[in-house]
A = this chain, B = another copy of it.
């Protein structure tokens, strides 16, 4: 999983980074029940056992007190959960002097008031709030977009494939599997949520599209997005995995008609997020061979940015948009960016 890989990356790379004047210390690991805290650094790769026996609470008060007592120079909180409750604590962490690095999309897709409050807190405290992995895992999309917009560029149109699981499933469907077979295969490979309805309902893609749209200045809420699930709504809303999978099997024949119709026109189905003017649309599109997203499959993400500067030819960034290695590397990159030249010594 991401946290495991990120912890290993920090532990393995710290000696090499020190040669580059970057001192990165892992001083705490928390899950929902407890927190393992060690001011001198958690260097043991077998930290799971220690965490299981840790006595500290993972509550924000405990972590703030620990940071204060340990006089941490430049503390960073890294959130690898998808918890809305934890994302609601970022403002408090920023106000207490932590940088915040997160893979969790909940904060950036909460209401605009909280979105603004976060940026206000980061500014007021001179702390960084970084979330490159919210979209496309380690692919350099947020930082690149922020750089362009700071230089005066404007987003004109965006479209992309933002879900590794849906990228995989739609690829396999055109390799001859039924929708339920492709979904079960993706699930077996660990590419989906435990209940794949949470991938096929499109909400995760909608959140990613909202993160990008807000980056570009659109003041939209999640409910403003037109989300067409990859399956009929009654399936998409099922909360029990077993129930969903048996419903999906019954839907296979109907879905196959859509696949066949697309293929008869030389097209493939892709689950695409699109931002155009003030609109965000998320849903299935049939695209022809000359479309930039035609070849995107096998878990790949792809993001196409048309802007004032990149016009008429867009920037295209593609590669794995999920997976423990690349997501952890994205979080690691954000961690490095929390260090100013001065405090990285």
Contacts and interface: CB of A to CB of B under 8 A. Distances in A.
Interface stretch (A52-60, A177-185, A333-341): A333-341
A315 B318 contact: yes
Contact of A139 (B139, B315, B326, B343): B315
B316 A152 contact: no
B138 A329 contact: no
Instruction: For chain A, give the interface size range.
Output: 35 or more
A20 interface: yes
A72 interface: no
A93 to B, nearest CB: 15
A329 B139 CA distance: 19
A12 interface: yes
Nearest to A126: B341
A314 interface: yes
Interface stretch (A33-41, A141-149, A236-244, A247-255): A141-149
A263 to B, nearest CB: 19
Contacts of A144: 140
A128 B326 contact: no
Given A128-B341, A316-B316, A319-B316, A148 B329 contact: yes
B9 A152 contact: yes
B326 A320 contact: no
B340 A20 contact: no
Interface in A194-228: none
A21 B123 contact: yes
A156 interface: no
